[in-house]
């Protein structure tokens, strides 16, 4: 069965520190992977996506993620966090070839940034 695990419910980092948010997935088909960010009371914004090719993908706002097939992981990273990065982050997985394009979401990781 398909599933996405974000093991960290809440992460706190100091502004300027590096960040890594973990995401593990379980999917029977060839996956495509996403990271979305949600600010309070808002919809989700796409940070980055991986379909194929280079396993290190760059996204908006200085974020990057690395796909590791052997570990079924797609961790999100940022070298230096800004206070405006405080938000909820969701990892999602879908299947290439899926006609409907349904995504499966993790439960989210809440990021708090200390000044």
101 interacts with another protein by CB under 8 A:
yes
Give the residue among 14, 28, 23, 34 at the shortest CA–CA distance from 86: 14
SS3 71: helix
Q: Which of residues 6-65 bind another protein (CB under 8 A)?
A: 32, 34, 36, 41-46, 49, 51
d(CA 13, CA 16): 8
Number of residues that bind another protein (CB under 8 A): 24
CB-CB contact of 112 with 102 (8 Å): no
Tell the smallest beta-carbon distance from residue 34 to another protein (Å).
6
103: its two tokens: 């995504």
State the minimum distance, in angstroms, from the CB of residue 69 to another protein.
18
| Contact flag: residue 108 with another protein (CB under 8 A) | yes
Identified binder of another protein from the candidate list 25, 74, 89, 90, rule CB under 8 A = 90
């Amino acid at each position: 069965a398909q599933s996405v695990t974000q093991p960290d419910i809440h992460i706190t980092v100091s502004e300027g520190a590096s960040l890594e948010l973990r995401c593990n997935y379980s999917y029977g088909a060839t996956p495509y992977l996403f990271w979305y960010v949600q600010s309070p009371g808002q919809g989700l914004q796409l940070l980055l996506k991986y379909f194929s090719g280079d396993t290190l993908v760059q996204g908006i706002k200085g974020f990057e993620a690395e796909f590791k097939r052997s570990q079924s992981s797609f961790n999100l990273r940022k070298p230096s966090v800004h206070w405006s990065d405080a938000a909820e982050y969701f990892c999602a997985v879908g299947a290439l070839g899926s006609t409907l394009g349904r995504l499966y979401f993790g439960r989210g990781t809440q990021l708090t940034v200390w000044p």
